[in-house]
């Protein structure tokens, strides 16, 4: 019985290793990604990596069906890693322009002139208009009452000032850093950055966009 379990675990472990090539970051960036890029351009530039739901589906087409011709293990690993970790990421990542406001733009919630506090500007985009706010807090007050037909919700990462999709961002609540209207929901592009800020500034919690509640937003004014 124990021997059978050992064999089963060994098989699963081997299958896992085969399913996803394991290389150091340095080897990937210096050797495999450039090699994979060249193979992709030469052998299968028509391949749409975004149609695959998981790595195993992509691997099956490359290794079993030979959609990029038949490659040895070294070349297939390079191609698979490039397609899944570089090509797929680049094609799915959208870059947003900087949130620019004029001296006439005012926050529709509090009436504050936005040009004075550019790093806090947040924006809701509709098909026929865009509305800018003096911070995420006031933007969320508007959002909870006018959330239909919105095309995009944009905020700025606190550290980099990069414009990011609010629905994919993380927000720190209850820190010792204040925005133009006092306590704020401070946005970050990833959870690691949010955690670092929260530790440095004694924040109460970190939430994803969908976890922000209307009651929580209004409590920030208390």
Query: What average pLDDT does the segment 198-202 reach?
Result: 95
For the chain, give the percent of residues with pLDDT over 70.
89
- What is the DSSP code string of the chain? -HHHHHHHHHHHHHHHHHHS----HHHIIIIIHHHHHHHHHHH-TT--GGG-SSHHHHHIIIIIS-TT----HHHHHHHHHHIIIIIHHHHHPPP-------TT-B-TTT--BGGG-GGG-EEEE-SS-EEEESSHHHHHHHHHHS-TT--EEEEE-TTT--EEEGGG-EEEES-S--BTTBS-EEEESSHHHHHHHHHHTT-SEEEEGGG--HHHHHHTT-
The chain-wide mean pLDDT, for the chain, equals: 88
pLDDT tens for each residue of 96-113: 899 999 999 999 999 999
pTM of the entire predicted model: 0.61
């Amino acid at each position: 019985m124990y021997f059978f379990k050992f064999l089963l675990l060994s098989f699963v472990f081997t299958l896992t290793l085969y399913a996803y090539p394991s290389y150091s970051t340095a080897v990937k960036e210096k050797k495999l990604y450039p090699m994979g890029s060249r193979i992709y351009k030469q052998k299968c530039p028509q391949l749409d990596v975004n149609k695959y739901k998981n790595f195993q589906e992509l691997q099956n087409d490359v290794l079993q069906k030979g959609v990029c011709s038949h490659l040895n293990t070294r070349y297939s690993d390079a191609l698979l890693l490039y397609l899944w970790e570089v090509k797929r990421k680049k094609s799915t990542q959208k870059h947003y322009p900087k949130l620019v406001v004029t001296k006439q733009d005012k926050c529709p919630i509090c009436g504050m002139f936005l040009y004075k506090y550019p790093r806090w500007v947040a924006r809701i985009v509709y098909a026929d208009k865009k509305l800018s706010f003096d911070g995420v807090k006031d933007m969320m007050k508007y959002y909870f009452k006018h959330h239909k037909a919105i095309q995009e919700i944009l905020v700025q990462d606190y550290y980099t000032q990069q414009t990011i999709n609010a629905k994919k961002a993380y927000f720190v609540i209850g820190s010792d850093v204040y925005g133009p209207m006092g306590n704020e929901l401070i946005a970050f592009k990833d959870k690691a950055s949010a955690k670092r800020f929260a530790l440095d500034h004694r924040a109460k919690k970190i939430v994803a966009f969908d976890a922000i509640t209307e009651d929580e937003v209004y409590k920030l004014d208390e």
